[in-house]
A and B are shown apart, each in its own frame.
Chain A
Amino acid sequence: MTHVSLQELTKVYPGSVEPSLDQLSLEIASGELTALLGPSGCGKTTTMKMIAGLLAPTSGDVTFDGRSVLKDKPEDRGVVMVFQNYLLFPYMTVAANIGFGLKMRKINQTEIDQRVSEMLDLVKLPDLGSRRPSELSGGQQQRVALARALIVQPNVLLLDEPLSNLDAHLRFEMRDLIRNLQQDMGITTIFVTHDQEEAVVLADKIALILDGRLKQYDVSSAFYSRPIDKATALFFGGQNFIEGQVETGVFNSVLGKMQLPAGCNNGAGILTIRPENIRIGQSPDGLNTVTASLSDKIYMGTQTRLLCQVGDSLLEVIANPNDVQEYEVGQNISLHFPRNALWVLPS
């Protein structure tokens, strides 16, 4: 159980002027599973390497339970990093790979063998100990890499894009495996990913990093319901952005007057709503309803995507196919914007 704190962590690589990571501060509670999310090149892998001690920060500090670990060598930090391409040692058997960390800690071979076999059971690969890594599938290799990391019972576990190399059905299996093991062992876990879906399904909290800076650090749902700005909303697949003015809880724009949830500041802003939160039809009280003209309708199997024109704004609506069967392109359609689904971004 380790509380990880990053304090104004900055990395400027030699030869470049722009920092790859700019004053990142994060508090990661003990036992929490946190995602560092951002597009490739945003500094997230740099952050992981600095936590692991594989890279020295230009400035700032990394502390575990309040103690700075910057002077600790990587092998003494109790941090294990699982790389995206697994990096199983090719000339060792699966069992030797998993036991590597224990061997480095000078634990006797009998105990290593026993713990390796327990670990193989935990990651559901009980009979593969004598194989070579090259004989395993990608998913199996990843489980071996995970077992190799967990066997040393690290204080902090770092995962680099843990789900991105897996196909859809393996992703959920691996997601459950990682979450269950992490929860059981209570290991503070940080993973990096460029895929917001991967972050959402796996993490307790997400730190969104754009251009080397922390944008927002919050629970997953907040990135959908109350993103901090338009870039954040866009990163999470936000679509509808309407400029206008907030006046005492009402948003004035091309959509007319929209009743806002409590806590929106007066002034210019951008109204946003997730496409899946817009309802078809009138609201019961007639408020927050707009008549739009349906300009396109795309059937996508489990849902239907509607593009609706209001003035010069194009709104995207995701609806249940059954609800919108009767609407034809060119027809008018009533859209209800539930008050609690609205959110105003700074313009």
Chain B
Amino acid sequence: MMGSHGGMPQLPSKYLLLILTAVCVILMAITFFTDFAMTPLSNVFGFAIVPFEKGVSRIGSSMSNKAEELTEIKELLAENEQLRQRIDALTIENNTLQQEKYELNKLRELYKLDEQYSDFKKIGARVISKNPGNWFGSFVIDKGKKDGICVDMNVMAGSGLVGRVTEVGNNWSKVISIIDDNSNVSGMVLSTTDRLIVSGSLETMNNKGTVQFSQLVISPDAEAIAGDKIVTSYISDKYLPGILIGYINEIAPDANNLTYSGTITPAADFAHLEEVLVVLEQKKQIADEEEE
């Protein structure tokens, strides 16, 4: 690629700069104003780079795992003690929950409600590279079109929502995470189905490891407190309903006294994201259903 300028040594650098600037501006305008896809071009790059990235990221993660194991032994002992106490508390809670589940199952049969989450078909993928800058939270996974992944499929890690696929190549796809500063997700409080908007924020992510939420309208007879579960809402056009986003961390009324905003601790562990699950099912749009 650099050979091209070796062939024209007489061209002064300022003209070269001007030409390339013009090319850049035109391409930026094209990709911004039209939906011209650069996937074919990206695929060529992907073909060359993905194998390298797979190898290097595997070496890197095994190195950091070793280092973390050593430092974490002490923390683990203390945590073990705490967890033992929690087991007791959880066993009691579990008993009551099981009674409730029995009741719920009976009610579900009555209402013919589908089981949600467990029915989704998922595929595991490995995170092979992350955004080179420190500003945004997108990353690339090692599964693509040939594994059945399409744009806008939801990505989860453990039980929590991680983000959605925004670009698909043959053997890779790009994922924008919900903690990215550009990301907005329509969510709801699980217990009351009050809707809210979850927006990623670099600032709160750096400070406390949380994302922001806003525009929560609490219905008159309900309440929302710290610790409440937030899941994706039914009205989201990109996300499937009922996927766990996280738990309310802080909540405060806005100046208008109508809505609430605050922060949410995400359920997925974004600091150690190595393997993710891609849900091979897309939210059906009204347009899609008309076509069928």
Say if A and B assemble together. no
